[in-house]
């Protein structure tokens, strides 16, 4: 299961939670962000980027888990197209990395695929 949350200036947008259970769509989202070039970023820098402006948080959960629990995988996409990864594999958090190039086209494709406003 995929849960998408839209955050604006560090506050959840009203009625922004989207739950996706379609495995084909979930795989497509993952394939869109797979293989992008990244570089290390300090935790504090990553948090500052996530806290300012608009960000979409993508959390992946086992079907049997509540979305209030920690998911198995997650990443964030900033409105400018920067992608911040905090996991390097399922259930394995890492030092955050950020894409070296903005991926606005990928964000737009994902928003269209999942009907995100």
Give pLDDT tens digits for 4-21: 999 998 888 887 789 999
Residues near 20 by beta carbon (within 8 Å), at least 6 away in sequence: 1, 2, 3, 4, 26, 29, 114
d(CA 30, CA 34): 6
Q: What is the pLDDT of residue 78?
A: 95
For the entire predicted model, the pTM comes to 0.88
Helices 23-33, 104-114: inter-axial angle, 10-degree rounding: 180
Percentage of residues of the chain with pLDDT beyond 90: 59
Domains of the chain by residue range: 2-114
Q: What is the pLDDT of residue 28?
A: 96
In this structure, the chain runs to a length of 117
Query: Which among 53, 71, 51 is positioned nearest to 61, based on CA atoms?
Result: 71
């Amino acid at each position: 299961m995929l849960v998408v949350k839209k955050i604006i200036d560090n506050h959840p947008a009203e009625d922004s939670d989207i739950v996706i259970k379609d495995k084909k769509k979930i795989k497509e989202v993952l394939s869109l962000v797979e293989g992008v070039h990244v570089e290390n970023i300090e935790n504090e820098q990553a948090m500052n980027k996530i806290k300012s402006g608009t960000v979409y948080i993508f959390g992946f959960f086992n079907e049997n888990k509540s979305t209030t629990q920690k998911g198995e995988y997650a990443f964030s996409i900033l409105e400018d197209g920067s992608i911040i990864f905090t996991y390097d594999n399922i259930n394995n958090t890492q030092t955050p990395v950020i894409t070296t190039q903005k991926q606005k086209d990928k964000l737009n494709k994902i928003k269209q695929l999942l009907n995100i406003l």
